[in-house]
């Protein structure tokens, strides 16, 4: 009597016929241990069914040998090693042993004296389901049915990279072809279902599933373990508070940037130190790029169309870095924004290109804060208050000055707010010979440079060089874009 083992139980697309009761051996001729146990297989008699992975004629002299060169049975039974001997009772697997171990084979088969001329033990060989040359094919066969995205065929003579450029999938740099196998491997980076809707992506308000985000993560060059970070970034960027549509449509040059906090930043090797805002780190570069590709390829946010930036900046290809929590004198940014300590999270904020702020002489927090305030005043324009948000990236050497003086992040923010209270006489139109500014009489007292909560302070950078960084933003508050923090779900 035979039983049908459903492929779907083990992630395989076909059904295979297996004995209801009896022994099953899975072998391949290319395995020395399988050839060694060939006489033992003959000893097991008519109650044995043999599935052979590479040669339908092997082993010889066995009554029921079946061709498994397509590996359907091996996949369904999840055969890691050959030879594997299994026993089925009432249609259910009751035991298995891998390789050759006389005692284990005798116990499973219920037969004594097996292979008396053989050594007591020999390890097996790797199953063909783990053959690197077959890995992509088998992965797609096993799990390809879970993918729902439309598939495009590239002509044999068509250059793959050029084809993706021509179809508009690229941000101007080469992208990685999102083959079914690569997308399936990317999806292994999360426990979330491929068809789960992550967000509705502006400007076209298209639903982005986990699968769609994974496709763009492949295009960007991400590793699977980066996917949870990308998913959280997409969720954050597609909120009303962040207002990605407005950020796209403005002629200002800002775009989304991502700060990553928590254990995942270290686990995936993100850079929070030297050159953290620059090139050279795969996780930093590709996570930010994946978010931008989702906005482009799913949401339709393309330069020259909805994206109307007058100049833009290189970070619009992708802008992502981690906060240096290990070196920081302050609690992580995510904790300051309400996330529990030890929790991985992203904060997405509107960002221009970064601009360095040098002060290599100040050794008191008061002097250094004045330097930082002077640099921050120029965000958007020195005479425009309450206009744009900003992010200040404090480098370790500057951070040490504040830490030694006992200044918290909140203390620094408060001091900067006081220093950035602008004199109306200095920011009126025409003051300083500059026509830009507030209308005369619009303010009767000092005006804050930033709205409440409009200046975010992050700790990152290399240990040498007293150079912090100002990242200008965009219009803050409900009418513009506000930073959004989201926990990362694995």
Q: What is the pLDDT of residues 48-69, one digit of tens each?
A: 999 999 999 999 988 899 999 9
Mean residue pLDDT across the chain: 94
Q: Is the pLDDT of residue 6 over 80?
A: no
What pLDDT does residue 15 have? 61
Cα distances (Å, whole numbers) of residue 73 to 12, 49, 64, 142, 319: 9, 12, 15, 12, 47
Kind and range of the H or E run holding 229: helix 227-237
| Beta carbons of 87 and 23 less than 8 angstroms apart | yes
Q: Is the pLDDT of residue 8 over 50?
A: no
On whether the 2-143 domain is CATH 3.40.30.10, my answer is yes
Q: Which residue has the tokens 């513009």?
A: 480
Q: Is the pLDDT of residue 224 over 70?
A: yes
What pLDDT does residue 1 have? 44
Give residue-wise pLDDT tens across range 424-473.
999 999 999 999 999 998 888 999 999 999 999 999 999 999 999 999 99
Query: What is the distance between the alpha carbons of residues 63 and 69, in angstroms, rounded to a whole number?
Result: 18
Give the mean pLDDT of 167-185.
Answer: 96
Q: Read off the DSSP letter of residue 428.
A: B
Which band of pLDDT confidence, cut at 50, 70 and 90, is reported for residue 3? low
* Secondary structure of residue 59 in the 3-state scheme: coil
What pLDDT does residue 219 have? 98
List residues bridging with 358 in a β-sheet: 467
Say what the alpha-carbon torsion angle 334, 340, 341, 347 is, to the nearest 10 degrees. Answer: -20
Break the chain into its structural domains and give their ranges. Answer: 2-143, 162-487
Which of the pair, 280 or 156, is modelled with greater confidence? 280
CA gyration radius for the chain?
31
Q: Is the pLDDT of residue 290 over 70?
A: yes
Query: What is the distance between the alpha carbons of residues 257 and 325, in angstroms, rounded to a whole number?
Result: 18
Helix, strand, coil % in the chain, rounded to nearest 5: 35, 20, 45
Q: Is the pLDDT of residue 2 over 50?
A: no
Q: Is the pLDDT of residue 4 over 60?
A: no
Give residue-wise pLDDT tens across range 247-270.
999 999 999 999 999 999 999 999
Say how far residue 352 (Cα) sits from the centre of its chain: 23
Say what the alpha-carbon torsion angle 440, 442, 448, 454 is, to the nearest 10 degrees. Answer: -120
Give residue-wise pLDDT tens across range 306-315.
999 999 999 9
Give residue-wise pLDDT tens across range 63-98.
899 999 999 999 999 999 999 999 999 999 999 999
**CA nearest 393: which of 366, 355, 339, 349?**
355
Give residue-wise pLDDT tens across range 314-371.
999 999 999 999 999 999 999 999 999 999 999 999 999 999 999 999 999 999 999 9
End-to-end CA distance of the chain: 44
Say how far residue 33 (Cα) sits from the centre of its chain: 41
What pLDDT does residue 45 have? 87
Say how far residue 254 (Cα) sits from the centre of its chain: 23
Give the mean pLDDT of 188-199.
Answer: 97
What pLDDT does residue 20 have? 84
Q: Is the pLDDT of residue 14 over 50?
A: no
């Amino acid at each position: 009597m035979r039983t049908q083992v459903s492929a779907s139980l083990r992630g395989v697309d076909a059904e295979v016929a297996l004995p209801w009761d009896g022994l099953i051996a899975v072998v391949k001729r290319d395995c020395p241990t399988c050839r060694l146990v060939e006489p033992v297989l003959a000893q097991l008699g008519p109650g044995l069914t043999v599935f052979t992975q590479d040669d339908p004629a092997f082993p010889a002299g066995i009554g029921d040998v079946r061709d498994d060169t397509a590996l359907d049975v091996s996949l369904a039974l999840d055969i890691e090693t050959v030879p594997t001997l299994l026993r089925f009772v009432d249609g259910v697997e009751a035991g298995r042993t891998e390789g050759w171990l006389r005692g284990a084979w005798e116990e499973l088969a219920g037969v004594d004296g097996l292979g008396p001329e053989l050594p007591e033990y020999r390890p097996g060989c790797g199953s063909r389901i783990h053959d690197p040359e077959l890995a992509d094919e088998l992965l797609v066969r096993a799990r390809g049915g879970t993918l729902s995205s439309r598939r495009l065929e590239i002509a044999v003579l068509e250059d793959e990279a050029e084809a993706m450029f021509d179809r508009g999938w690229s941000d101007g740099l080469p992208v990685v072809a999102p083959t079914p196998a690569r997308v399936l491997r990317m999806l292994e980076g999360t426990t979330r279902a491929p068809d789960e809707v992550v967000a509705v992506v502006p400007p076209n308000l298209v639903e982005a599933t986990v699968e769609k985000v994974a496709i763009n993560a492949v295009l960007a060059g991400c590793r699977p373990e980066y996917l949870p970070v990308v998913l959280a970034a997409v969720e954050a960027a597609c909120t009303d508070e962040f207002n990605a549509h407005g950020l796209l449509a403005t002629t200002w040059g800002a775009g989304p940037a991502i700060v990553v906090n928590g254990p995942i930043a270290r686990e995936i090797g993100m850079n929070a130190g030297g050159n953290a805002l620059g090139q050279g780190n795969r996780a930093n570069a590709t996570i930010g790029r994946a978010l931008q590709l989702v906005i482009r390829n799913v949401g339709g946010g393309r330069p020259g169309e909805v994206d109307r930036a007058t100049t833009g900046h290189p970070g619009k290809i992708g802008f992502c870095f981690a906060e240096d929590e290990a070196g920081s004198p302050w609690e992580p940014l995510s904790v300051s924004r309400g996330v529990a300590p030890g929790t991985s999270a992203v904060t997405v904020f509107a960002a221009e290109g970064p601009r360095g702020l040098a002060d290599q002489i100040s050794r008191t927090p008061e002097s250094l804060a004045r330097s930082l305030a002077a640099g921050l005043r120029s965000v958007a324009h020195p005479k425009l208050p309450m206009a744009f948000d900003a992010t200040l990236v404090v480098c370790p050497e500057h951070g040490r000055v504040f830490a030694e003086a006992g200044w918290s992040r909140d203390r620094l923010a408060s001091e900067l707010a006081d220093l950035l209270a602008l004199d109306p006489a200095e920011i009126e139109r025409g003051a300083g010979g500059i026509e830009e500014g507030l209308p005369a009489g619009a303010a009767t007292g000092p005006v804050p440079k930033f709205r409440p909560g409009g200046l975010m302070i992050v700790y990152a950078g290399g240990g040498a060089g007293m150079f912090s960084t100002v990242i200008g933003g965009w219009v803050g508050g409900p009418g513009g874009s506000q930073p959004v923090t989201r926990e990362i779900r694995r």
